[in-house]
Amino acid sequence: MRISGIIIGALFFLFSSACQSAAEEGSKKIYGTAALMVVVEREDGRVAVFDSVNHELIGRIAGLGNLRHASMVFSRDARFAFVAARDGTISKIDLLGMELAARKKAGESSIGIAISRDNRYIMVCNYEPGGAVVMDSATLEVVKEIPAEFTLPDGSKSRARTVGPLDTADNLMIFALMEGNAVWVVDMRQEGFPAIRKFEDVGDTPYDQLITPDGRHYMVGLLNSDWMGLLDTWKLDGMKRIDVRERRGAIKKDGEKVPLHHIPHLESWAIAGRLAFVPAFAEKRVIVYETDGWTVVKSIPVSGTPLFVVARPGGREIWVDNVGEPGSNEERLIEVIDVERLEVKKTIDAGKGAIHPQFTPKGEAVYISIQGEDRIAVYDADTYALIKDFPAKRPSGIFSSDRASKFGL
């Protein structure tokens, strides 16, 4: 009898422990990583992570450095986010553990980050000390420095500031040299990561890059040239010039010339089918290009100078934020362009300093940073109604984890 009592007591203890463990597990927030929104809170050097299916705040990770103009990429399985801070700090965030997994310096002033196709390496472009670095994605140890040297008129050598980089379907990395007026292609499959092509004299001061969703065509923007460079990544046979004087206002039609408050980056371009929607420089319009020949289809007036022009998944709508004088009404407005009619069909007053709309993976909702009101707004993309608000300190860039499976993002 005594032995039976001991056995029964032991079984009861085990059952109670199992129930307690199950209860504790049930109290934890369980989520996947395929539909997260990671929002930069730049003034606090941290990011906020949201479950974009249920629109819930999961948590925050701090201590990420100077996040002004921060950029971010995700590991292939969307388990980790890699954040490049402007002060050269690279942070690896565990999105399941909600913790900082690694933190290393890639330079003194970093401006762009990409992850290789095989998920093994991170490339970071630097303003200081110039050039690019390749880091091991597991440890963030630097495994290669690429000085990005160019020749000055007197024959001496100097390091260029670099911008980008972007990954391609062939496991290449492409970045541009601002002072060198060049574009380099690095093969991430070969030992030592050699620069297999160096395109010189691509134009005056490359400042940003874009790759098409299929990963084939690379484009480089130029601050002081009236064209953009286009490279076929399958052939790597030369940089084609695309006339963008229309974007710069040289051929002015229905655009109102205003101060250039922010330079629209190429990542802010939206490509929907065979159309590209491009923000004009210092004008209140979005220019529509046909991507086969890069001819202008239409110029669409908007309320302010567009900064981010974002295609809704499926390609039927383009959402546009507007910038202007601080405190102006136009910086409150998000405009929705109908892709079939090529005109604005809806204007949303989202709040003071509304920027950087980012869609959920299938486009049913969109997250928007409302910088001037320290909050993040979530809108229903079908009804345009506000679903939810979250407090956030000076939010800026919003990055969906579905970028993990997209080229150049």
pLDDT (average), residues 37-64: 95
CA distance 333 to 347: 6
Q: Answer whether 278's CB lies under 8 Å from 265's CB.
A: no
Residues 6+ away with beta carbon under 8 Å from 378: 55, 365, 366, 367, 368, 386, 387, 388, 389, 390
CA distance 8 to 370: 60
- Examine the pLDDT at 303 and tell me if it is beyond 70: yes
DSSP 32: -
The confidence score (pLDDT) of residue 151 equals 83
55: left (phi over 0), alpha (psi -120 to 50) or beta: left
The confidence score (pLDDT) of residue 252 equals 43
The confidence score (pLDDT) of residue 324 equals 75
- Examine the pLDDT at 109 and tell me if it is beyond 60: yes
CA distance 339 to 288: 10
| Predicted confidence band of residue 265 (pLDDT cuts 50, 70, 90) | low
pLDDT (average), residues 127-141: 96
pLDDT (average), residues 153-169: 89
| Residue 252: Cβ-neighbour burial (10 angstroms; 0-12, 13-18, 19+) | middle
Q: Closest by alpha carbon to 323, among 311, 332, 315?
A: 332
Looking only at the bridges linking them, the beta strands covering 172-177 and 162-167 are antiparallel
DSSP 283: B
**Domains and their CATH numbers in the chain:** 106-243 (2.130.10.10)
